[in-house]
A and B are shown apart, each in its own frame.
Chain A
Amino acid sequence: MWAILSILVENKPGILFKVTHLFRSRNFNIDSISVGVTENPEYSKMTITTYGDEKQVEQIVKQLDKMIDTVKVEHLDEHKTVYRELSLFKIKLSNASDSMEINKLANAYGGKVHDVKKESIMVELTATPDQIQAFEELAKPFGIIDVARTGVAALQRSGA
Chain B
Amino acid sequence: MNKMESMTGAKALMTAMEKEGVKQVFGLPGGANLPMYDEFSRCDIRHILVRHEQSAAHMADGFGRVSRKPGVCFATSGPGATNILTGIATAQADSAPMVAVTGQVPVAMIGRDAFQESDIIGMANPVVKYAFQPRSAAEVPETVKKGFFIAESGRPGPVLIDIPKDVQTNEAEMVFHDEFKIKGYHPWTDPDIVNVERAIDMLLHSEKPIILAGGGTIISSAFAELQAIAEALMLPVVTTFKGKGAFPENHPLSLGPIGMHGHAEANKMMAEADCVLAIGTRFSDRSVGTFEAFEKRLKIIHMDVDPAEIGKNQTTQVAVVGDVRASLRIMVKLLLQKQIKKTEDNTWIKHVKETKSYWKENLKLHPGEMGAAKLLRKLRELLPKESIVTTEVGQHQMWASLFYDVIQPGTFFSSTGLGTMGWGFPAAIGAKVARPDVPVVDIAGDGSFSMTENSLATAVLEDIPVIVFLLNNSSLGMVAQWQRTFYDRRMNGVEQNHCPDYVKLAESYGAQGIRAQSMDELDKAIKTALSSDVATVIDIPIDPEEDVLPFVAPGTSLSDMILPS
A contacts, CB < 8 Å to B: 9-10, 14, 17-18, 21, 25, 55, 58-59, 62-63, 65-72
**Least Cβ–Cβ distance between A72 and chain B, in angstroms:** 8
B contacts, CB < 8 Å to A: 121-122, 125-126, 129-130, 150, 182-185, 306-308, 310-312, 315
Whether A55 contacts B311 in the complex (CB less than 8 A), given A10-B183, A70-B184, comes out as yes
Give every chain A residue within 8 A of B185 (Cβ-Cβ): 68
Whether A66 contacts B121 in the complex (CB less than 8 A), given A21-B126, A59-B312, comes out as no
16 chain-A/chain-B pairs, Cβ below 8 angstroms: A9-B184, A17-B122, A17-B125, A55-B311, A55-B315, A59-B311, A63-B308, A65-B307, A66-B307, A67-B184, A68-B182, A68-B184, A68-B185, A69-B184, A71-B183, A72-B184
Task: Compute how far the CA of A18 lies from the CA of B124 in the bound complex, rounded to whole angstroms.
Answer: 11
Task: Compute how far the CA of A25 lies from the CA of B182 in the bound complex, rounded to whole angstroms.
Answer: 24
**Least Cβ–Cβ distance between B552 and chain A, in angstroms:** 24
Give every chain B residue within 8 A of A69 (Cβ-Cβ): 184
Give every chain A residue within 8 A of B126 (Cβ-Cβ): 21, 25
Whether A18 contacts B125 in the complex (CB less than 8 A), given A65-B307, A68-B150, comes out as yes
Give every chain B residue within 8 A of A66 (Cβ-Cβ): 306-308
Which residue from B183, B308, B315 sits with its C-beta under 8 Å from A65? B308
Asked if A10 contacts B125 (CB within 8 A), the reply is: no
Closest to B309 in A: A62
Asked if B308 contacts A62 (CB within 8 A), the reply is: yes
Give every chain B residue within 8 A of A63 (Cβ-Cβ): 308
Task: Compute how far the CA of A63 lies from the CA of B313 in the bound complex, rounded to whole angstroms.
Answer: 13
Task: Compute how far the CA of A71 lies from the CA of B186 in the bound complex, rounded to whole angstroms.
Answer: 10
Give every chain B residue within 8 A of A70 (Cβ-Cβ): 184
Asked if B184 contacts A58 (CB within 8 A), the reply is: no
Give every chain B residue within 8 A of A14 (Cβ-Cβ): 121
Give every chain A residue within 8 A of B121 (Cβ-Cβ): 14
Give every chain A residue within 8 A of B311 (Cβ-Cβ): 55, 58-59, 62
Task: Compute how far the CA of A62 lies from the CA of B308 in the bound complex, rounded to whole angstroms.
Answer: 5
Task: Compute how far the CA of A63 lies from the CA of B311 in the bound complex, rounded to whole angstroms.
Answer: 11
Task: Compute how far the CA of A46 lies from the CA of B306 in the bound complex, rounded to whole angstroms.
Answer: 24
Give every chain B residue within 8 A of A9 (Cβ-Cβ): 184
User: Which of A18, A65, A68 is most buried by chain B, counting CB atoms within 10 A of its CB?
Assistant: A68
Closest to B126 in A: A25
**Least Cβ–Cβ distance between B161 and chain A, in angstroms:** 14
Give every chain A residue within 8 A of B183 (Cβ-Cβ): 10, 71
**Least Cβ–Cβ distance between A90 and chain B, in angstroms:** 35
Closest to B150 in A: A68
Asked if B308 contacts A21 (CB within 8 A), the reply is: no
Task: Compute how far the CA of A116 lies from the CA of B423 in the bound complex, rounded to whole angstroms.
Answer: 67
Give every chain B residue within 8 A of A55 (Cβ-Cβ): 311, 315
Give every chain A residue within 8 A of B307 (Cβ-Cβ): 62, 65-66
Task: Compute how far the CA of A58 lies from the CA of B308 in the bound complex, rounded to whole angstroms.
Answer: 9
**Least Cβ–Cβ distance between B187 and chain A, in angstroms:** 10
Asked if B308 contacts A59 (CB within 8 A), the reply is: yes
**Least Cβ–Cβ distance between B373 and chain A, in angstroms:** 40
Closest 5 pairs between A and B when the two form their complex, measured CB to CB: A62-B308, A71-B184, A66-B308, A68-B185, A71-B183
